[in-house]
Amino acid sequence: MIEVEIYAPGLRKESAMMQLRNQMDHFPRVRYKVDARHDLVYFEIDRPGDLSQQEIDQIFEAIELTPRFVGQIPEELRSGAATTRLI
């Protein structure tokens, strides 16, 4: 299981909470918990393919919030779109 914490300033607005709920309907396998007091969302992802870093960004951009990952982004979530490590 992968756990990710996202800080999204402005999430505590009721309209943003409703929009987040609507966005998360597209990802039924992903569990999430909202700490509205601190503008945080905790994600629990059972399988790496259920949600990617890019999809998390898109969820929050759709509700006009800027997501900030708290801590290190798990390797399983990283999308290869930005850069690829060469060995």
How many whole angstroms separate alpha carbon 12 and alpha carbon 3?
Answer: 21
Mean pLDDT calculated for residue range 3-20: 92
Position with higher pLDDT, 87 vs 64: 64
Domains of the chain by start residue, with CATH: 2-70 (3.30.70.100)
Burial 27-62 (b: 16+ CB within 10 A, else e): beebebebeeeebbbebebeeeebbbbeebeebbee
Chain segment 18-77, per-residue pLDDT in tens: 999 999 999 989 999 999 899 999 999 988 788 888 999 999 999 999 999 998 888 888
Note the pLDDT of residue 86. Answer: 55
Look up the pTM and report it.
Answer: 0.79
